[in-house]
Amino acid sequence: MIKNLKLLALCVLTLSLSYCSNDDDNGPSKSDLTLDINGLEDLGSDFVYEGWIMVDASPQTTGRFSVNDSGDLSKTSFALDSDDLAAATAFILTIEPAVGDDPAPSDTHLIAGDFSGDMGALTIAHGAALGDDFNTAAGDYILATPTNGSNNDEKSGIWFLDLNSGSPAVGLDLPVLPAGWKYEGWAVQGQPITTGTFLNVDAADDFDEFSGGMSGPPFPGEDFLVNAPSGLAFPLDLSGGTAVISIEPDPDNSPAPFLLKPLVGAILSDAVDHVTYPMTPNLNFPTGTVSR
């Protein structure tokens, strides 16, 4: 009888040790974080999207993914530590270098949202993203080519300014961007062509490689007169094209406008130079949900 009891105790101890050993082998328990996001675009080979949860005010990566030409995410579910996920207060989506990335989040926060229970709504307006919904954005532009003098190819330049008072004035009303982002002006005539990136609406942008030899006004804009890129011939008549203001990640590897385009304006086929034309808000931004 005593021998049998000893044998039973040994079996119980063996099972207990085996259970503890399996617990250690498996590690902490995992739970899934799931993303449902619309409106993202392919970032090319140089950049990826990366998710982060905020736990005790510190970011923890949830994993990286890419997006194809149809906007489909390469991965939508991520296994995370259950305790960390339960304690998370917010989710943030950033744009990161594909190679040589710093383990901390970049400055380029695209969309974010707070958890409410097990769900969170993701928008660009969240304070941890761009912090604005851009519904008050407004803009004007004129066609003119001040960098080659008067009355020369006047429909081959676009400047984001207002001439209604008779003198050039600020033509864009845009919120200040957080670190990691810049505005960029574009004219689309067969293909998009940049007018330059900028942060201030009342100063020249950082680009003048297509303009002539004379000074332009102290506002964002460009004349399309020299150094035409492949596929275009300068001077470029912009009649019938489109004016665009985009929000671009910084750094940026794309020669086309990013998916955030808060202002768009059709350029009439019979547009008149030195006349102020309005742009309209274009609030088609990425949105989605995160669940745990």
Q: Is the pTM of this model over 0.85?
A: yes
> What number is the average pLDDT over the span 161-186?
98
Question: For residue 102, what pLDDT is reported?
Answer: 86
- Confidence category of residue 24, pLDDT binned at 50, 70, 90: very low
Question: For residue 101, what pLDDT is reported?
Answer: 78
CA–CA separation, 277 and 274 (whole Å) = 9
**Angle, CA of 154, 279 and 161, to the nearest 5°:** 50
State residue 279 phi and psi, 5-degree precision. -110, 160
Which has more confidence, 147 or 20?
147
Amino acid identity of residue 69, one-letter, is D
Residues 86, 87, 90, 96, CA torsion sign? negative
> What number is the average pLDDT over the span 116-144?
98
Task: Give tens-digit pLDDT for 59-72.
Answer: 999 999 999 999 99
CA–CA separation, 45 and 97 (whole Å) = 9
* pLDDT > 90? residue 4: no
Question: For residue 25, what pLDDT is reported?
Answer: 56
Question: For residue 175, what pLDDT is reported?
Answer: 98
CA–CA separation, 158 and 185 (whole Å) = 9
Question: For residue 26, what pLDDT is reported?
Answer: 63
109, 178 in Cβ contact below 8 A?
A: yes
| Percent of the chain topping pLDDT 70 | 91
Question: For residue 5, what pLDDT is reported?
Answer: 37
> What number is the average pLDDT over the span 226-236?
97
* pLDDT > 60? residue 189: yes
Question: For residue 11, what pLDDT is reported?
Answer: 35
Mean pLDDT rounded to a whole number for the chain? 92
CA dihedral 249, 236, 166, 171 (to 10 degrees): -10
